[in-house]
């Protein structure tokens, strides 16, 4: 009798440069999500948010697809769950995560998988990737933000077409509309995602967290209130800095400038 332990469906890998990779690992089911997987994903993002060694997170799927949505054999268990339980809600935990999240998308990101992609901060897609909203096809009411976020990213008319017709949004169109940042060959997907992560890691970590926060919080507001939010947080940031911190900032900038000049 085979006594080998069951394969983990959510994989978490820490790389030495401060990058963590989260992989949805149910390839035989195109990474469809059970209730337990949703809880484990939420826990992974909550854990990574608290882990000070982690600076950037890459989220991807194993096999041919990113995520084909909720496993409909578990639909009642998932959809009738406690919608107010933020601790076990994958998208809530992704949105609460202070660290930048890069989505590495291959194959299909369907419905809940589409919503998880929308919760990422930066998207890299392999050629041929498709984003598909099947809520109207199967009579599922959206609850992870697809009905509200997509229109704000790609425009309301295009979002209506994608969602009401349940036709795929191709990676190429998604890139043109500003939803996907980069399209790459299949074999380059994680390489490109790591390149972006490495570029983020090289920057001031405190400011990366603050900058992500003010962008993500501000986009929920009208421009007037968003600008006020930026001004308020900037004021608080500089008021909290000591003379020594200002001195180090000036020295760092001066050092960078001298290095650039020496290369000319």
Give the DSSP letter of residue 145.
S
Q: What are phi and psi of 168, to 5 degrees?
A: -65, 145
pLDDT averaged over 10-residue windows placed end to end, the chain, 264 residues: 67 96 97 94 97 97 96 74 79 97 98 97 98 95 94 96 97 96 97 98 96 97 97 95 90 71 49
Residue 257's pLDDT is 62
Positive or negative, the CA dihedral 25, 42, 134, 152 is negative
Q: What angle do CA 57, 132, 216 make, to 5 degrees?
A: 40
Residue 57's pLDDT is 98
Residues paired with residue 198 on neighbouring β-strands, in sequence order: none
Residue 200's pLDDT is 98
Ranges of each domain in the chain: 10-202, 221-262
Residue 254's pLDDT is 84
* Full strand arrangement of the beta sheet holding 19-24: 10-14, 19-24, 56-61, 101-105, 122-126, 182-184
Q: From CA 230, how far away is CA 232, in angstroms rounded? A: 6
Q: What is the pTM of this model?
A: 0.92
10-202: CATH, from 3.40.50.300, 3.90.226.10, 3.30.1360.70, 3.40.50.720: 3.90.226.10
Q: Quick check: helix, strand or coil at residue 103?
A: strand
Residue 175's pLDDT is 97
Residue 1's pLDDT is 44
Extract the tokens encoding 92. 């809530």
List CB contacts of 52: < 8 A, sequence separation 6 or more.
none
């Amino acid at each position: 009798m085979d006594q080998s332990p069951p394969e983990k469906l959510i994989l978490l890998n820490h790389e030495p440069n401060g990058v963590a990779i989260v992989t949805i690992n149910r390839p035989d089911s195109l990474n469809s999500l059970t209730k337990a997987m949703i809880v484990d994903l939420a826990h992974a993002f909550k854990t990574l948010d608290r882990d000070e060694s982690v600076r950037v997170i890459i989220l991807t799927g194993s096999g041919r697809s990113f995520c084909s949505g909720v496993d409909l054999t578990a639909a009642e268990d998932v959809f009738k769950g406690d919608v107010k339980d933020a601790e076990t809600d994958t998208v809530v935990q992704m949105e609460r995560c202070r660290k930048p999240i890069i989505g590495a998308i291959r194959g299909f990101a369907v419905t809940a998988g589409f919503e998880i992609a929308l919760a990422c901060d930066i998207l890299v897609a392999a050629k041929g990737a498709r984003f598909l909203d099947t809520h109207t096809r199967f009579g599922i009411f959206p609850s992870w933000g697809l009905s509200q976020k997509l229109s704000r990213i790609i425009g309301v008319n295009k979002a209506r077409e994608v969602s009401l017709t349940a036709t795929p949004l191709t990676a190429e169109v998604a890139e043109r509309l500003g939803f996907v940042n980069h399209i790459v060959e299949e074999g380059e997907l994680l390489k490109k995602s790591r390149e972006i992560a490495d570029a983020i890691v090289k920057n001031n970590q405190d400011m990366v967290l603050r900058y992500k926060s003010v962008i993500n919080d501000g986009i929920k507001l009208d421009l007037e209130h968003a600008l006020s939010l930026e001004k308020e947080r900037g004021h608080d940031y500089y008021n909290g800095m000591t003379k020594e911190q200002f001195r180090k900032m000036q020295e760092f900038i001066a050092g960078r400038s001298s290095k650039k000049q020496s290369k000319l």
